[in-house]
Structure 1
Amino acid sequence: MTGKSRQPGWDKQAVNEIAASQYGSLKNMFDAHGWDKADRTFGQIAPSRVKETYGGVEAFVKAHEDGRAGNPMLDPLVAIRSDPPQVFLKSFHGFTPESWGFLGYTEPSSREKFVRESRPGALLVVCGTSKAPIKSERLRVLGMQQQTHIYGSKWEFLDPARHEEERNDPKRVGGWINGLKAIRAWKIPEEDRPFVRDIFPETHKGGDNGTAIGSYGLRLTSREALRILDLPLYEVPVFGGAPVDSLIPGPAAQTLAPSKPGPVAQSGYMVREAEGPKHLYILRMHGDEYGLLGEDPKGGWIVKVGFSGSPDTRCKAHNTTLPRLCAYQWAVLKSTFDAKRPAFPSSRHALAGEQAMKDSLVKNGRSLGGEFFLANQSAIEMAWAAGIAAAEQIGGGSACGSA
C-alpha cells in the first residue's frame, strides 16, 4: 500500500475496488467466499468479513495479486500450481490440527518471514522431525494445512484441553508462541506416508536443510509441489474451525478441491475410495458391551470387518461419527497392513476376503447386522484366517466394492 492509499478509508476503498474488478460486485464476492452479511449492508460488513477470513485488508489485497482465479484461499489447488508455488515444507514433532490449529514460531521474526514470502491460503506441508515422539512419523510427510495471515498467540489457537500440559512443560511453554491461524487440514493415510527425502529431494537436500525446514519452513520447487497431487489425502477438522465431513482418502486433486464457495465452507470433497490395492481389517469396539447391547455379551467382542486402502484411516472415520467424549471407540484389532502383509491387488480380492469373514462370523459368532458381529476371540481368529485365504484365492482383475 502506498502512503496515499493509507489515508482514512483506504481499506474500504481497496476492498470495494477488488470486489468490483475481480468479482463484479460485493454480492458476488460474498457469494464466492460463502460470507453472510446478516442484517448489515454488504459495504458495512465487508471489511469485517475480510479481516475474519484473511487477517486484514493488506492480506486480502496480497491474496488477489493474481486475480480471483489466482487466490489460493478460494482454491487450495491454486497454491500448488502457482509460480512460484505457495507451498512450504515445515517439520513438526507431530501433526494434530484437530487440537493444534495454527502454524507457530518461537521467534516473531520467523513468523514475519513466512508472512512476507507467502500469501493467505498458502499450503504448509508437514513432515515429522527426526525426534518425533511417534517413531513411525519421523522424517515422513504427515499431511498439510492451509494458512491464513491471521495473527494470534499459541493459546488462542490451541485446544484448551492441551493448555495445562503445555504450560507445565518448561521446554514447550515458551515455544511456538507466535501463531498464524490455519483454516483447513489434510492428512496422508499412515500406510502411504512417504519419506520427505524421497518426495521432496531438492528442498530436503539430504537433510542439509533440516534446520531451515524446522525453524521457519522452505518453499517447495514447482516439480515438488506437483508431486502432492499424487498423494492420497483425507480432510480433518482444524481446532477453532468448522467441522468437516467424515472423508475417506481420495486423490489430492479431488480432496483439495473446494466443494462450496470459499474457505468458510471447509467441508471437503466427498469421494468414494479409489480402486486400487486394499487391506483387510477387523475393528473392535472398546467400551461396555453390556451397556451397548443391553444384554450379557458372554465374553464376546463387538467387531466390524471390512477392507480399505487405509484401515487406520477407516477406523478414524468411524470414530468421528461418535461423540467426542463417548465411552466407546473403535480400534484396529487386525489388519493385513499391521501384519506387514502386502495389500491385495484390488477390491475384488478384498471383497472376497470380507465376505469370507462375514460367513465365518455368522457361523461361529452372532451377526449384529451388516458387517458388525459379536464374537469371541477364537471365532475372530477363524474369520481372519478365512478372509485372508479367500482373498488369496482370487485371480486377476478388479471390481469396486464398499468398505
Structure 2
Amino acid sequence: MDTLQFEIARFLAAKALHKRRTTYQQVGEAVGWNHPTGRGLGRNLEVILHYLADRGLPPLTTILVKKGERHPAEDAMAYIRSALGAIDIEAAQQEVFAIDWTSVPELDPATDTLPDGRQVWLTSFWGFDPASWGCIGFADEARRARYLSNSKPGTLVAIYVTKGKGPENMRGKVVGVLEISHEIGHAQEFISGDRWAEKERDQDSRGKWLYAVKATRAWRIVPEDWRRVEELFPQAYRGSNAELIGANGVPVSADEAAELYELDVYEVPVYGQTEPVDPTIQTLESALSPSRAVRPASRPYWVGETNGPKHLYILRLVGNIGAYLGRRDDEVEDKHIIKVGFSKSPQARRDQIQSAYPRGAFHWEVFKPSPQPDTAPYASAEIAIAGEDAMKKRLVEDGAEVLGGEFFLADDNLIYRIWAAGSNAAKAAQDGLRNQQFPE
C-alpha cells in the first residue's frame, strides 16, 4: 500500500477502536481527499481490502458508509464481495470492532487525530447566539456543582432549541455545540450587556440561570443538518424529560455523540473571547481534530470549507435599497444588491455574511436556489467555480454595477439570466469531468 492508503487504513482503525462506523466525508477531510463523497476512493479502498485479506485481518473498509447509513452502499459492496465473497456484512463489521488495532504495528491508529475522550452533554436554550451568550446557566449552585462533578473541562454541550420558545424554524432541533470550561461565575459576566438587559426585561427569564459556567468555543450546525432532538439523541432525550434536560443537562452516549460528529458545522465567536475563529464549513469531527492548513483569504468575505458537493447561490439584501445606497428610489427601481458564490450550505453562508452586519432594517436572504434541493448538485468546488465565474462574467458583461468585492447591483431579469448561465456552466463542467473519467 502507498502512504495515502495507509493513512486511510489508520483512520478507519482509529474509528474501529471506538466501535464506530465512519463516512466518506470524514475520511476525505481526515486525509485531504478532494472528493469527500467518495468519488475516486474506490481504487484505494480495494487495495486496502486486499492488503487486509492477505494478512488475515478483518475488512476495515466495511465500516465506511454513506452519511446516515449502517452498511456500505451497493457499489462499495461490489468491491467487498469481489475480494471476500458473499459475506455477512453485519458480522464483518463486528469482527472489525472486536480486534485491538493497536496490536497491528503498521495500522496502529493515531488516536490523537480524533475528538474522542470528550464528553458530550445535551441541554436546551431558547435560541443559539454564543456571540452574546457565552455560557450555560443553572438555577442554583447545587445543579451547577452536580454538572461540574460529572463533567470535565472541554466537554461539548449540544444545544437544541426548546419546543415552546425560540425561533420557530429552530424549535425542537439541535442547532449548535458549545465547548464548556470549568470556569464559573455569575451569568452576567458571560453575557453581553444588551442581551443581559433583554433577558432581565422578560418576565419568563428574569433572575434565572444565574449560576453560570463559561463557554470557550462554539460551532453552529449548518441549517441543512439540523436534526430533531429526538431523532439525533433518542436515548438521551427520551431517557429524561425536557424540563430536566433544560435545567441540568444530560450526558450523551458515545454512539449518539458519533452522530453529532458527522454533522457539518462552522465555528462562531463566543462572548468575551478574543481568539480568532475558523469559519470553515466541515464536520464537527474535523473541527475538533488537528487540521491541515486552510489557505488564507484571497478575496473579501472569503471563508473556507472542505471540498465536496456544492450548491451555487445568489444572496439578496432585503430592505430599502435606495436608502442603503444613498440614492433616489427611482434610480434603483426593480434592482437588488446581490452576492453570488458557491457553498456546501447557502444558508450557512448567508448567516456568516449576516453576522458581519449590525442588526437593523436590512437582512440577507438566499434568493437562489429556491427551493434548495436536498443534495448539492455539483460534485466539487472545481465544478462550482465554473458556475460562479459564469455568473460574474454575465453580470459584468450585461452591465450590473459592481459595488465592491463580490457584491453587485442588478435588475430582476439579469439576476435570472445569471442564474441560468451559472447553472449551465456548472452542469457543463460536471458533464465534461464525468466524460473524462468515464469515456465512452
Contiguous gaps of at least 5 residues in structure 1: 1-76, 260-269, 399-403
- Residue equivalent to 2:137: 104
State the SS of the aligned residue for 1:282: strand
* Of 147, 152, 159, the match for 1:119: 152
| AA at the equivalent of 1:213 | I
- Residue equivalent to 1:202: 235
CA shift in 2, pair 1:298/1:94, >3 Å: closer
State the SS of the aligned residue for 2:237: helix
1:359 to 2:393 alignment: yes
| AA at the equivalent of 1:316 | D
1:301 to 2:333 alignment: no
1:162 to 2:195 alignment: yes
- Residue equivalent to 1:5: none
Q: 1:202 offset after TM fit, Å? A: 2.2
Q: Percent identity?
A: 35
8 A contact 1:250–1:271 mirrored in 2: no
8 A contact 1:356–1:390 mirrored in 2: yes
State the distance in 2 between where 1:78 and 1:248 align.
18
CA shift in 2, pair 1:109/1:332, >3 Å: same
- Residue equivalent to 2:422: 387
State the distance in 1 between where 2:340 and 2:154 align.
39
1:234 to 2:266 alignment: yes
Q: 1:251 offset after TM fit, Å? A: 2.5
8 A contact 2:120–2:157 mirrored in 1: yes
State the distance in 2 between where 1:228 and 1:213 align.
17
Q: 1:190 offset after TM fit, Å? A: 0.9
| AA at the equivalent of 1:232 | D
- Residue equivalent to 1:63: none
State the SS of the aligned residue for 2:431: coil
* Of 129, 145, 162, the match for 1:129: 162
State the SS of the aligned residue for 1:395: helix
- Residue equivalent to 2:283: 251
TM-score, L = length of structure 2: 0.61
Deviations 1:103-147 (A, max 9, x none): 011233221211110112211111122124222212221111111
State the SS of the aligned residue for 1:142: strand
- Residue equivalent to 1:343: 376
1:373 to 2:405 alignment: no
CA shift in 2, pair 1:327/1:171, >3 Å: closer
Map 1:1-12 onto structure 2 (within 5 A).
none
* Of 321, 324, 346, the match for 1:311: 346
1:211 to 2:246 alignment: no
Q: 1:298 offset after TM fit, Å? A: 4.1
State the SS of the aligned residue for 2:315: strand
* Of 175, 186, 189, the match for 2:222: 189
State the SS of the aligned residue for 1:360: helix
State the distance in 2 between where 1:247 and 1:361 align.
28
CA shift in 2, pair 1:371/1:202, >3 Å: same
State the distance in 2 between where 1:79 and 1:390 align.
38
1:282 to 2:332 alignment: no
CA shift in 2, pair 1:335/1:248, >3 Å: farther
Q: Bigger CA drift: 305-314 or 370-379?
A: 370-379
CA shift in 2, pair 1:274/1:246, >3 Å: closer
- Residue equivalent to 2:21: none
- Residue equivalent to 2:305: 273
State the distance in 1 between where 2:337 and 2:303 align.
28
State the distance in 2 between where 1:286 and 1:136 align.
19
Q: 1:189 offset after TM fit, Å? A: 0.8
8 A contact 1:229–1:253 mirrored in 2: yes
State the distance in 2 between where 1:396 and 1:194 align.
36
CA shift in 2, pair 1:292/1:183, >3 Å: same
Contiguous gaps of at least 5 residues in structure 2: 1-111, 292-301, 435-440
| AA at the equivalent of 2:388 | E
Q: 1:345 offset after TM fit, Å? A: 3.7
State the SS of the aligned residue for 1:124: strand
Q: Bigger CA drift: 350-359 or 108-117?
A: 350-359
What do you get for the CA RMSD once the two structures are aligned? Answer: 3.3
Map 1:215-226 onto structure 2 (within 5 A).
215-226=247-258
State the SS of the aligned residue for 2:133: coil
| AA at the equivalent of 1:81 | D
State the SS of the aligned residue for 1:303: strand
Q: 1:91 offset after TM fit, Å? A: 1.4
Deviations 1:310-366 (A, max 9, x none): 11222333345x4x6498966134132654564214135533432332233233332
State the SS of the aligned residue for 1:197: helix
| AA at the equivalent of 1:94 | G
8 A contact 1:189–1:313 mirrored in 2: yes
| AA at the equivalent of 1:178 | Y
8 A contact 2:114–2:288 mirrored in 1: no
TM-score, L = length of structure 1: 0.66
| AA at the equivalent of 2:339 | K
State the distance in 2 between where 1:396 and 1:339 align.
24
State the SS of the aligned residue for 1:171: coil
1:140 to 2:173 alignment: yes
Equivalenced residues, count: 308
| AA at the equivalent of 1:111 | R
| AA at the equivalent of 1:381 | Y
